[in-house]
Amino acid sequence: MRKLFLVLFTACSLGTFAQNSARELDELQRQIEKKQAGTDSISKRNDSLIQQQSRTIDSVYMRSQAEINNNGLNSLVREMKERENNQKKAMWLRIGFGIVLLIVGIIGISRKRKPKN
């Protein structure tokens, strides 16, 4: 009885662990290739989506950086114009003060020159 079980067990295990035929191997190879082709197309699609997303993020980042730069430049130009206007006001004030002093000096010199009668 033991020998019978041993023979049956060996026969079952040999049938179970035996290699597949060439036709079955070819079929399995085709199925593997189909699945790999599907995963390749999915990975390519994912790569293209990632690239598109990175381009979108880069364009948004570039726009925000350009806006920040423009705001910085606009404020710089505004400050330069304000400083220039203040310098012009100071220049005209000095010129006006110089003209007033010149007139006062001319009047003072002309009074001294006039002989008193």
Instruction: Please indicate, yes or no, if residue 4 is contained in any of the structural domains.
Output: no
SS3 letters across 24-75: HHHHHHHHHHHHHHHHHHHHHHHHHHHHHHHHHHHHHHHHHHHHHHHHHHHH
List the structure tokens of 79: 């400050």
Write down the pTM of the prediction: 0.43
pLDDT tens-digit profile of 81-105?
999 999 999 999 999 999 999 999 9
Instruction: Please indicate, yes or no, if residue 17 is contained in any of the structural domains.
Output: no
Instruction: Please indicate, yes or no, if residue 59 is contained in any of the structural domains.
Output: yes
* pLDDT band, very low/low/confident/very high, at 8 (cuts 50, 70, 90): confident
| pLDDT given for residue 77 in this prediction | 94
- Residue count (the chain): 117
pLDDT tens-digit profile of 20-78?
567 777 788 888 888 887 787 788 888 888 888 888 888 888 888 889 999 999 999 99
Instruction: Please indicate, yes or no, if residue 86 is contained in any of the structural domains.
Output: yes
| pLDDT given for residue 16 in this prediction | 60
List the structure tokens of 86: 């203040």
Total domains in the chain come to 1
Q: Which domain holds residue 84?
A: 22-113
* CA 33 to each of CA 29, 30, 86, 108: distance values in angstroms, whole numbers, following the listed order: 6, 5, 78, 110
